[in-house]
Amino acid sequence: MIKRLLPIIMIAVILLSCGEDETIWEKPSLENLTYGDGYAELALYSWSWDGEKLYYGGVRGDQYPLYEVALRRGIYDQYPEEIYPGGFSFSMFHFTTPDEKWVLYAAREDGNPWACIYKSPLDDLSQVTRLTPLDTLDNMPKPSPDGEWLAFLSMRYGTGIQEIYLLRSGGDYQPESEENTAIQLTYTSYFLWGYAWSPDSQWIAYACYSEDVDASKLYKVNIYSRDDPVEIPYGEYQKYVHVLDWSCDGNWLAISWWDYGVGRSVAGYLPADGGVRIPFLDPRAYLLEDCALFSPQGDRVALILENPEHEGFADMYDIFLYPFEPEG
């Protein structure tokens, strides 16, 4: 009798252990873009607008160069090139402009405790122009897809709060001045980190802490009307939500959130107008840093994952390409 019941008992145990809502994950096909170099710190910045290059940052000793890697048919075309815009050994948050004429980045001049926004021509990186004042703390410059605006994060006026600001580009990204003053776009009263442009350059999506839910809310704000931000529902409220990217077809947002079940930050996506968030990969099997970038063609997403091939080394990361096939 017991032998007859044993298969039924085993099936019941399996079902109970999985749970009714447990997602069955298949092992994905991932392309290692950084060839197992194993960076201690990595940051994704931007794709080239034709999808043939990817720009990222990685710590090398006491330096933080910008890397450019060219892709052909989804594989390496050349070894990544180290780039030091403006001669700075430590610069971060590099983003290329839509015409790929300029690279925009945050850096700190010698003797100045504050980081500012700079630009350098991609064909002559020795030239450098500072775009924001020395007495502000600025980072993460992102040009609008139409090239008309430069958005960046800034901590100003002694508030200790980081908000999104806008500068008109003037065609070639003119410095902040009395004639070209920075426009404050958000008023969150809490620390804001991460944002993304809509592909039509009309909206910026971001997330920040909200006291009424003791968690993060997701918003989008129109840069022209600058009306009250529109909340984007993403399911049950989570803490430490960051906006990572907005797909070029306008349909999807990439975000990250803290998953208490696995004890780490998880990156995923959801409809741009709100809906259920879906992890890109099984959060139990992959450690995702809060970085994800959709390719301009929308068929791939670049992710930063802990590389299990680095035996004996903890917290070593590589950039992987993953086919993006959204559900629904």
Tens digits of pLDDT across the chain (328 residues): 433 433 333 333 333 333 334 444 454 566 766 655 555 566 777 887 788 777 777 666 556 666 666 664 344 444 456 666 666 655 677 778 888 888 888 887 776 667 889 998 888 878 889 999 888 889 889 999 999 999 999 988 767 788 999 999 877 899 999 889 999 999 987 778 789 999 999 999 999 988 888 989 999 999 999 999 999 999 999 888 999 999 999 999 999 998 888 888 889 999 999 999 999 988 876 766 678 999 998 999 988 877 655 544 445 677 888 889 887 6
Asked if 266 and 244 count as a contact pair (C-beta separation under 8 A), the reply is: no
Collapsing DSSP to helix, strand or coil, 114 comes out as: coil
Retrieve residue 246's tokens: 């907005």
Retrieve residue 244's tokens: 């990572």
Query: Rounded to the nearest 5°, which phi and psi values hold at 174?
Result: -75, 150
Tens of pLDDT along 141-178?
999 999 999 999 998 876 778 899 999 987 789 999 98
Collapsing DSSP to helix, strand or coil, 61 comes out as: coil
Q: How far apart are the C-alpha atoms of 296 and 248, rounded to whole Å? A: 6
Domain edges within the chain? 30-323
Residue 205 has a pLDDT of 98
CATH of domain 30-323: 2.120.10.30
Residue 65 has a pLDDT of 63
User: What does each C-alpha distance from 158 to 46, 135, 161 come to in angstroms?
Assistant: 31, 10, 8
Asked if 103 and 95 count as a contact pair (C-beta separation under 8 A), the reply is: yes
The verdict on pTM exceeding 0.85 is: no
